[in-house]
Amino acid sequence: MSNKIAVKVDEDLEDIMPRYLEIRLKELVELETAIQDKDFDQIRMLGHKLKGTGAAYGFEELSRLGNIIEEQAVEKIMDKVPESTAQVRNYLENVEIEYVEMD
């Protein structure tokens, strides 16, 4: 069974997509560290970035997870943050992009 997550992304983003994903992976490591440190300000900021950029690049699931992470950090609640962060890691490690023409 494949763990790949198929996502259709605007072909106009093809040139910048590798850098976008590279940045998200770097921020994911920062998020995991912030969770260990219980640094809610950092968790909030990184969740906000995911929420704000995910859908714009065709990754609605990253925006959804970023929203959960940000909201939990604002309330200083850690309940869903580690699980949501693990889902972000799974998503980034398994996303398979198909570039398509979109208007």
First to last CA, the chain: 33
Burial of 47 (0-12, 13-18, 19+ CB in 10 A): buried
Pairing assessment for the beta strands 95-100 and 5-10 based on DSSP bridges = parallel
Q: Token pair of 4, please? A: 């790949």
pLDDT tier at 52, thresholds 50, 70, 90? very high
In the chain, the number of structural domains is 1
pLDDT at 2: 63
Q: Is residue 67 part of a domain?
A: yes
CATH number reported for the structural domain that contains residue 48 in this entry = 1.20.120.160
Range of the domain at 94: 5-98
pLDDT one-digit tens code per residue, 30-42:
999 999 999 999 9
On whether residue 50 sits in a domain, the answer given is yes
pTM value is: 0.93
The predicted model gives 20-48 an average pLDDT of 98
pLDDT in the model for residue 98: 96
Distances in Å between the Cα of 7 and the Cα atoms of 22, 51, 71, 86, 94 are 17, 17, 25, 19, 10
Mean pLDDT, the chain, integer? 96
- Residue 33 CA: distances (Å) to CA of 13, 23, 69: 29, 16, 14
Find the mean pLDDT for residues 53-70.
96
Q: How far is CA 44 from the centre of its chain?
A: 13
Q: How confident is the model at residue 103 (pLDDT cuts 50, 70, 90)?
A: confident
Residue 103 lies in a domain: no
